[in-house]
A = this chain, B = another copy of it.
Protein backbone atom coordinates (compact mmCIF):
# COMPACT_ATOMS: atom_id res chain seq x y z
CA UNK A 1 0.00 0.00 0.00
CA UNK A 2 1.49 3.29 -0.97
CA UNK A 3 -1.66 5.34 -1.44
CA UNK A 4 -2.60 7.73 1.33
CA UNK A 5 -4.12 11.13 1.90
CA UNK A 6 -3.06 13.34 4.80
CA UNK A 7 -5.91 15.75 5.40
CA UNK A 8 -5.62 19.14 7.04
CA UNK A 9 -1.86 19.46 7.38
CA UNK A 10 -0.19 22.67 8.40
CA UNK A 11 2.36 23.30 5.67
CA UNK A 12 5.83 24.81 6.15
CA UNK A 13 4.80 27.91 4.15
CA UNK A 14 2.13 28.65 6.76
CA UNK A 15 -0.86 27.43 4.79
CA UNK A 16 -3.11 24.43 5.36
CA UNK A 17 -3.64 21.66 2.92
CA UNK A 18 -4.05 18.00 2.11
CA UNK A 19 -1.22 15.85 0.82
CA UNK A 20 -2.26 13.15 -1.64
CA UNK A 21 0.13 10.24 -2.04
CA UNK A 22 -0.02 7.85 -4.99
CA UNK A 23 2.42 5.04 -5.71
CA UNK A 24 4.61 6.21 -2.87
CA UNK A 25 5.03 9.73 -4.23
CA UNK A 26 3.43 13.08 -3.52
CA UNK A 27 0.73 13.35 -6.17
CA UNK A 28 -0.76 16.66 -5.06
CA UNK A 29 -0.70 19.23 -2.27
CA UNK A 30 -3.69 21.52 -1.89
CA UNK A 31 -6.94 22.22 -0.13
CA UNK A 32 -9.94 19.93 -0.48
CA UNK A 33 -8.14 17.38 -2.62
CA UNK A 34 -10.16 14.49 -4.05
CA UNK A 35 -8.63 11.08 -3.40
CA UNK A 36 -9.44 7.99 -5.42
CA UNK A 37 -12.11 5.85 -3.71
CA UNK A 38 -10.61 3.58 -1.08
CA UNK A 39 -7.53 5.72 -0.45
CA UNK A 40 -6.68 5.50 3.25
CA UNK A 41 -7.02 8.90 4.90
CA UNK A 42 -5.29 10.35 7.94
CA UNK A 43 -6.62 13.42 9.69
CA UNK A 44 -3.50 15.51 10.34
CA UNK A 45 -5.64 17.87 12.44
CA UNK A 46 -3.35 20.81 11.88
CA UNK A 47 -0.10 19.02 12.61
CA UNK A 48 2.85 20.46 10.73
CA UNK A 49 4.01 18.38 7.77
CA UNK A 50 7.74 18.28 7.14
CA UNK A 51 9.83 16.42 4.63
CA UNK A 52 11.54 13.45 6.30
CA UNK A 53 15.09 13.97 7.45
CA UNK A 54 18.54 13.00 6.20
CA UNK A 55 21.46 11.92 8.40
CA UNK A 56 24.57 12.88 6.43
CA UNK A 57 27.33 11.55 8.63
CA UNK A 58 27.05 8.89 11.30
CA UNK A 59 28.57 5.59 12.38
CA UNK A 60 25.71 3.12 12.72
CA UNK A 61 28.11 0.22 13.15
CA UNK A 62 29.62 1.29 16.42
CA UNK A 63 26.82 2.71 18.52
CA UNK A 64 26.29 1.21 21.96
CA UNK A 65 22.60 2.23 21.87
CA UNK A 66 20.52 -0.21 23.89
CA UNK A 67 23.56 -2.09 25.24
CA UNK A 68 23.45 -0.55 28.71
CA UNK A 69 25.37 2.52 29.76
CA UNK A 70 29.09 2.40 28.98
CA UNK A 71 31.21 4.38 31.39
CA UNK A 72 33.49 6.65 29.34
CA UNK A 73 36.97 7.04 30.85
CA UNK A 74 38.81 7.67 27.58
CA UNK A 75 41.79 10.02 27.23
CA UNK A 76 41.43 13.26 25.29
CA UNK A 77 43.44 12.57 22.09
CA UNK A 78 42.04 11.35 18.78
CA UNK A 79 44.31 8.33 18.99
CA UNK A 80 43.04 7.52 22.51
CA UNK A 81 39.54 7.32 21.07
CA UNK A 82 40.52 5.20 18.09
CA UNK A 83 42.49 2.75 20.23
CA UNK A 84 39.87 2.55 22.99
CA UNK A 85 37.26 1.75 20.43
CA UNK A 86 39.28 -1.02 18.82
CA UNK A 87 39.92 -2.54 22.24
CA UNK A 88 36.35 -2.19 23.50
CA UNK A 89 34.32 -3.40 20.54
CA UNK A 90 35.53 -6.96 21.08
CA UNK A 91 35.26 -6.82 24.83
CA UNK A 92 31.70 -5.48 24.63
CA UNK A 93 30.65 -8.04 22.05
CA UNK A 94 29.46 -5.32 19.72
CA UNK A 95 27.44 -6.87 16.90
CA UNK A 96 27.56 -4.32 14.08
CA UNK A 97 24.43 -5.50 12.27
CA UNK A 98 22.32 -5.64 15.42
CA UNK A 99 23.57 -2.26 16.56
CA UNK A 100 23.23 -0.59 13.16
CA UNK A 101 19.69 -1.85 12.76
CA UNK A 102 18.76 -0.79 16.28
CA UNK A 103 19.99 2.74 15.64
CA UNK A 104 18.56 2.94 12.12
CA UNK A 105 15.13 2.08 13.53
CA UNK A 106 15.50 4.79 16.18
CA UNK A 107 16.25 7.21 13.34
CA UNK A 108 13.17 6.06 11.42
CA UNK A 109 11.01 6.45 14.52
CA UNK A 110 12.12 10.09 14.65
CA UNK A 111 11.52 10.77 10.97
CA UNK A 112 14.82 10.08 9.24
CA UNK A 113 14.59 7.97 6.08
CA UNK A 114 18.02 8.52 4.51
CA UNK A 115 21.33 7.82 6.22
CA UNK A 116 24.94 8.01 5.12
CA UNK A 117 26.89 5.84 7.52
CA UNK A 118 30.57 5.15 7.76
CA UNK A 119 31.56 1.57 8.67
CA UNK A 120 34.97 0.75 10.09
CA UNK A 121 37.27 -1.38 7.97
CA UNK A 122 40.52 -2.50 9.52
CA UNK A 123 42.85 -5.46 9.83
CA UNK A 124 41.16 -6.72 12.99
CA UNK A 125 37.52 -6.74 11.89
CA UNK A 126 38.16 -6.91 8.17
CA UNK A 127 35.05 -6.03 6.19
CA UNK A 128 32.63 -7.31 8.83
CA UNK A 129 31.21 -3.91 9.78
CA UNK A 130 30.93 -2.70 6.18
CA UNK A 131 29.30 -5.96 5.12
CA UNK A 132 26.82 -5.65 8.00
CA UNK A 133 25.79 -2.19 6.83
CA UNK A 134 25.43 -3.43 3.26
CA UNK A 135 23.16 -6.20 4.58
CA UNK A 136 21.16 -3.67 6.56
CA UNK A 137 20.89 -1.41 3.51
CA UNK A 138 19.31 -4.28 1.60
CA UNK A 139 17.08 -5.30 4.50
CA UNK A 140 15.67 -1.77 4.84
CA UNK A 141 15.41 -1.03 1.13
CA UNK A 142 12.03 0.47 0.35
CA UNK A 143 11.80 1.94 3.85
CA UNK A 144 15.12 3.66 4.40
CA UNK A 145 17.96 4.60 2.06
CA UNK A 146 21.36 3.80 3.52
CA UNK A 147 24.72 4.68 2.00
CA UNK A 148 27.71 2.73 3.27
CA UNK A 149 31.15 4.33 3.45
CA UNK A 150 34.03 1.84 3.82
CA UNK A 151 35.97 3.78 6.39
CA UNK A 152 39.59 3.01 7.37
CA UNK A 153 39.29 4.44 10.90
CA UNK A 154 42.67 3.09 12.00
CA UNK A 155 44.59 4.19 8.89
CA UNK A 156 45.53 2.56 5.60
CA UNK A 157 49.26 2.86 5.00
CA UNK A 158 50.12 2.27 8.64
CA UNK A 159 48.15 -0.99 8.64
CA UNK A 160 49.19 -3.09 5.67
CA UNK A 161 46.31 -5.09 4.31
CA UNK A 162 43.78 -2.31 4.84
CA UNK A 163 43.80 -1.24 1.20
CA UNK A 164 42.84 -4.75 0.14
CA UNK A 165 40.11 -4.83 2.77
CA UNK A 166 38.70 -1.55 1.49
CA UNK A 167 38.64 -3.03 -2.00
CA UNK A 168 36.89 -6.12 -0.68
CA UNK A 169 34.31 -3.97 1.12
CA UNK A 170 33.62 -2.11 -2.13
CA UNK A 171 33.28 -5.37 -4.04
CA UNK A 172 30.90 -6.54 -1.30
CA UNK A 173 28.67 -3.56 -1.97
CA UNK A 174 29.92 -0.56 0.00
CA UNK A 175 28.90 2.60 -1.82
CA UNK A 176 31.63 5.08 -0.97
CA UNK A 177 35.35 5.12 -0.27
CA UNK A 178 36.22 6.48 3.16
CA UNK A 179 39.42 8.16 4.28
CA UNK A 180 40.79 10.20 7.16
CA UNK A 181 43.37 12.66 8.39
CA UNK A 182 46.13 11.80 5.92
CA UNK A 183 48.90 13.43 7.97
CA UNK A 184 47.58 12.68 11.43
CA UNK A 185 46.98 8.95 11.01
CA UNK A 186 48.88 7.67 7.96
CA UNK A 187 51.67 10.28 8.40
CA UNK A 188 51.77 10.66 4.61
CA UNK A 189 49.25 13.05 3.08
CA UNK A 190 50.28 12.44 -0.52
CA UNK A 191 50.45 8.69 -0.08
CA UNK A 192 47.11 8.40 1.71
CA UNK A 193 45.24 10.63 -0.72
CA UNK A 194 46.76 9.05 -3.82
CA UNK A 195 45.68 5.68 -2.46
CA UNK A 196 42.07 6.55 -1.61
CA UNK A 197 41.48 8.59 -4.78
CA UNK A 198 43.00 5.65 -6.65
CA UNK A 199 40.37 3.38 -5.11
CA UNK A 200 37.65 5.79 -6.19
CA UNK A 201 38.98 5.76 -9.73
CA UNK A 202 39.43 2.00 -9.90
CA UNK A 203 35.99 1.23 -8.46
CA UNK A 204 34.02 4.18 -9.80
CA UNK A 205 33.01 5.28 -6.30
CA UNK A 206 32.67 8.63 -4.54
CA UNK A 207 34.87 9.69 -1.61
CA UNK A 208 33.98 10.87 1.89
CA UNK A 209 37.02 11.87 3.95
CA UNK A 210 37.11 12.66 7.67
CA UNK A 211 39.33 15.72 8.01
CA UNK A 212 39.81 16.68 11.65
CA UNK A 213 43.28 18.11 11.07
CA UNK A 214 43.56 21.64 12.43
CA UNK A 215 44.64 24.91 10.89
CA UNK A 216 47.10 24.92 8.03
CA UNK A 217 47.72 21.18 8.31
CA UNK A 218 44.07 20.57 7.51
CA UNK A 219 44.08 23.28 4.87
CA UNK A 220 47.07 21.63 3.18
CA UNK A 221 45.20 18.32 3.08
CA UNK A 222 42.26 20.22 1.60
CA UNK A 223 44.55 21.67 -1.09
CA UNK A 224 45.60 18.16 -2.02
CA UNK A 225 42.00 16.92 -2.03
CA UNK A 226 40.95 19.80 -4.28
CA UNK A 227 43.81 19.07 -6.73
CA UNK A 228 42.88 15.40 -6.97
CA UNK A 229 39.15 16.05 -7.24
CA UNK A 230 39.80 18.36 -10.19
CA UNK A 231 42.31 16.06 -11.85
CA UNK A 232 39.90 13.09 -11.71
CA UNK A 233 36.83 15.13 -12.63
CA UNK A 234 35.05 14.03 -9.44
CA UNK A 235 32.75 17.04 -9.21
CA UNK A 236 29.86 16.18 -6.89
CA UNK A 237 31.55 12.96 -5.79
CA UNK A 238 33.75 14.17 -2.92
CA UNK A 239 32.68 15.13 0.59
CA UNK A 240 34.95 16.49 3.28
CA UNK A 241 33.55 15.60 6.68
CA UNK A 242 34.24 17.98 9.59
CA UNK A 243 36.78 20.23 7.82
CA UNK A 244 37.51 22.05 11.09
CA UNK A 245 40.38 23.90 9.38
CA UNK A 246 37.80 25.94 7.44
CA UNK A 247 36.78 27.51 10.73
CA UNK A 248 40.35 28.36 11.58
CA UNK A 249 42.59 29.48 8.72
CA UNK A 250 42.74 33.03 7.40
CA UNK A 251 42.52 31.76 3.82
CA UNK A 252 39.21 29.97 4.39
CA UNK A 253 37.38 32.10 1.82
CA UNK A 254 39.79 31.04 -0.92
CA UNK A 255 39.38 27.41 0.12
CA UNK A 256 35.58 27.64 -0.10
CA UNK A 257 35.96 29.12 -3.60
CA UNK A 258 38.30 26.35 -4.69
CA UNK A 259 36.01 23.68 -3.21
CA UNK A 260 33.03 25.17 -5.06
CA UNK A 261 34.98 25.19 -8.30
CA UNK A 262 36.05 21.56 -7.79
CA UNK A 263 32.56 20.49 -6.71
CA UNK A 264 33.42 19.28 -3.19
CA UNK A 265 30.81 19.20 -0.40
CA UNK A 266 31.10 19.52 3.37
CA UNK A 267 29.50 17.39 6.09
CA UNK A 268 29.49 19.05 9.50
CA UNK A 269 28.26 18.12 12.95
CA UNK A 270 28.57 21.77 14.02
CA UNK A 271 30.27 20.84 17.31
CA UNK A 272 30.02 23.51 19.98
CA UNK A 273 33.55 22.97 21.21
CA UNK A 274 35.61 23.97 18.18
CA UNK A 275 35.75 26.15 15.07
CA UNK A 276 33.84 24.69 12.13
CA UNK A 277 32.92 25.53 8.55
CA UNK A 278 30.38 28.34 8.33
CA UNK A 279 27.08 27.35 6.75
CA UNK A 280 26.53 30.81 5.28
CA UNK A 281 30.07 31.17 3.93
CA UNK A 282 29.99 27.74 2.34
CA UNK A 283 26.62 28.36 0.69
CA UNK A 284 27.61 31.85 -0.45
CA UNK A 285 30.65 30.36 -2.19
CA UNK A 286 28.54 27.62 -3.76
CA UNK A 287 29.82 24.76 -1.62
CA UNK A 288 27.20 22.11 -0.75
CA UNK A 289 27.05 21.72 3.02
CA UNK A 290 24.92 19.45 5.18
CA UNK A 291 24.77 18.00 8.65
CA UNK A 292 25.21 14.76 10.53
CA UNK A 293 25.49 13.57 14.11
CA UNK A 294 28.76 11.69 13.82
CA UNK A 295 28.81 8.83 16.34
CA UNK A 296 25.82 8.41 18.65
CA UNK A 297 26.25 6.99 22.13
CA UNK A 298 29.48 5.14 21.38
CA UNK A 299 32.95 4.89 22.87
CA UNK A 300 33.84 8.24 21.31
CA UNK A 301 31.04 10.25 22.82
CA UNK A 302 27.99 9.78 25.03
CA UNK A 303 26.14 12.56 23.18
CA UNK A 304 23.96 12.82 20.09
CA UNK A 305 20.57 11.39 19.30
CA UNK A 306 19.06 9.67 16.26
CA UNK A 307 17.02 12.84 15.83
CA UNK A 308 17.90 15.17 12.97
CA UNK A 309 15.74 17.94 14.44
CA UNK A 310 18.11 18.02 17.42
CA UNK A 311 21.04 18.16 15.01
CA UNK A 312 19.38 21.03 13.14
CA UNK A 313 19.02 22.86 16.45
CA UNK A 314 22.72 22.35 17.18
CA UNK A 315 23.62 23.61 13.70
CA UNK A 316 21.44 26.65 14.32
CA UNK A 317 22.99 27.36 17.70
CA UNK A 318 26.54 26.96 16.36
CA UNK A 319 25.86 29.30 13.44
CA UNK A 320 23.89 31.74 15.63
CA UNK A 321 20.85 31.35 13.36
CA UNK A 322 18.08 33.20 15.21
CA UNK A 323 15.79 34.60 12.54
CA UNK A 324 13.19 32.23 11.10
CA UNK A 325 14.80 32.48 7.67
CA UNK A 326 18.11 31.45 9.24
CA UNK A 327 16.62 28.54 11.19
CA UNK A 328 15.27 27.36 7.84
CA UNK A 329 18.89 27.01 6.70
CA UNK A 330 19.59 24.72 9.66
CA UNK A 331 16.58 22.65 8.60
CA UNK A 332 17.85 22.47 5.01
CA UNK A 333 21.10 21.06 6.42
CA UNK A 334 19.20 17.93 7.55
CA UNK A 335 16.80 17.66 4.61
CA UNK A 336 17.12 18.94 1.05
CA UNK A 337 20.74 20.04 1.06
CA UNK A 338 21.85 16.76 2.63
CA UNK A 339 19.90 14.65 0.16
CA UNK A 340 21.32 16.54 -2.78
CA UNK A 341 24.94 16.54 -1.62
CA UNK A 342 24.88 12.83 -0.70
CA UNK A 343 23.10 11.85 -3.89
CA UNK A 344 19.96 10.57 -2.20
CA UNK A 345 16.60 10.90 -3.86
CA UNK A 346 15.32 14.42 -3.31
CA UNK A 347 13.81 15.26 0.03
CA UNK A 348 11.09 17.90 -0.23
CA UNK A 349 7.37 18.43 0.26
CA UNK A 350 6.82 18.89 -3.44
CA UNK A 351 4.55 17.24 -5.94
CA UNK A 352 6.36 14.39 -7.66
CA UNK A 353 8.86 13.74 -4.87
CA UNK A 354 8.94 10.58 -2.80
CA UNK A 355 6.39 10.70 0.00
CA UNK A 356 8.68 10.66 3.04
CA UNK A 357 6.80 12.91 5.45
CA UNK A 358 6.80 13.65 9.17
CA UNK A 359 3.94 15.17 11.17
CA UNK A 360 4.67 17.08 14.37
CA UNK A 361 2.82 19.44 16.69
CA UNK A 362 4.41 22.77 15.80
CA UNK A 363 3.26 26.04 14.33
CA UNK A 364 6.30 26.60 12.15
CA UNK A 365 9.37 24.89 10.82
CA UNK A 366 11.47 26.98 13.21
CA UNK A 367 9.44 25.75 16.17
CA UNK A 368 10.02 22.16 15.05
CA UNK A 369 13.77 22.80 15.03
CA UNK A 370 14.01 24.51 18.42
CA UNK A 371 11.53 22.28 20.27
CA UNK A 372 11.96 18.90 18.52
CA UNK A 373 8.41 17.82 19.27
CA UNK A 374 7.51 14.11 19.28
CA UNK A 375 6.94 12.63 15.83
CA UNK A 376 3.22 11.97 15.60
CA UNK A 377 3.37 10.22 12.24
CA UNK A 378 6.21 9.13 9.99
CA UNK A 379 5.54 8.24 6.37
CA UNK A 380 8.18 6.58 4.18
CA UNK A 381 7.64 5.81 0.51
CA UNK A 382 4.00 6.69 1.07
CA UNK A 383 3.53 4.14 3.86
CA UNK A 384 2.93 4.99 7.51
CA UNK A 385 5.94 3.49 9.29
CA UNK A 386 5.66 5.03 12.76
CA UNK A 387 2.96 6.58 14.88
CA UNK A 388 3.35 8.30 18.25
CA UNK A 389 6.75 6.87 18.99
CA UNK A 390 6.00 3.32 17.90
CA UNK A 391 7.34 1.70 14.74
CA UNK A 392 4.66 -0.19 12.87
CA UNK A 393 6.96 -2.94 11.60
Inter-subunit contact A319/B273 (CB<8 Å) = yes
| A302 at the B interface (CB under 8 A) | yes
Q: How far is the CA of A364 from the CA of B302 in the complex (A)?
A: 11
Compute how far the CA of A325 lies from the CA of B320 in the bound complex, rounded to whole angstroms: 29
CA distance A270 to B317 in the complex (A): 11
Of chain B, the residue at the smallest CB distance from A365 is B69
Q: Kindly list chain B residues whose C-beta atoms are within 8 Å of the C-beta of A13.
A: none
Smallest beta-carbon distance A247→chain B, Å: 11
Q: Does A322 count as interface, using CB distance less than 8 angstroms?
A: yes
Docked Cα-Cα span, A17 to B319, in Å, equals 44
A56 lies within 8 A of chain B by Cβ = no
Q: Closest CB of chain B to A16's CB: distance in Å? A: 15
For A327, the chain B residues whose CB sits under 8 A away are 302
Per the bound structure, the CA–CA distance linking A353 and B271 in Å amounts to: 37
Expressed in whole angstroms, the Cα–Cα distance for A320 and B74 within the complex equals 12
Copy total for this chain: 2
Partner of A320, one of B71, B273, B318: B273
State whether B69 touches A297 (Cβ < 8 A): no
Q: Determine whether the beta carbon of B273 is less than 8 Å from that of A370.
A: no
Contact with B along A283-305 (1 / 0, CB 8 A): 00000000000000100111111
Decide yes or no: A370 and B303 within 8 Å by CB, A272-B314, A272-B317 being known contacts.
yes
- Contact-residue size bin, chain A (C-beta under 8 Å from the other chain): 35 or more
Q: Report yes or no: B305 in contact with A272, Cβ–Cβ below 8 A.
A: no
Give chain B residues whose Cβ lies under 8 Å from the Cβ of A273.
317-320
> Which residues does chain B contribute within 8 Å of A71, judged by CB atoms?
324, 364
Cβ A271 vs Cβ B317 within 8 A = yes
Determine whether A182 belongs to the interface, using a CB cutoff of 8 Å to chain B: no
Closest CB-CB distance, A151 to chain B, in whole Å?
Answer: 20
Q: Report which of B69, B73, B303, B371 forms a contact with A313, defined as CB distance below 8 A.
A: B303
A314 to B274, CA, bound (A): 13
A65 to B64, CA, bound (A): 36
Q: Are A303 and B323 in contact (CB under 8 A)?
A: no
Query: Are the C-beta atoms of B323 and A73 separated by less than 8 Å?
Result: yes
- A residues apposed to B, CB below 8 Å: 68-69, 71-74, 270-274, 297, 300-305, 313-314, 316-320, 322-325, 327, 363-364, 366-367, 370-371
Q: What would 11 A/B residue contacts be, using CB atoms closer than 8 Å?
A: A69-B366, A71-B364, A72-B322, A74-B322, A271-B272, A273-B317, A273-B318, A297-B370, A301-B322, A302-B327, A303-B313
10 shortest A-B CB distances, which residue pairs? A272-B272, A273-B320, A69-B363, A272-B318, A272-B317, A72-B323, A302-B370, A69-B364, A303-B370, A71-B324
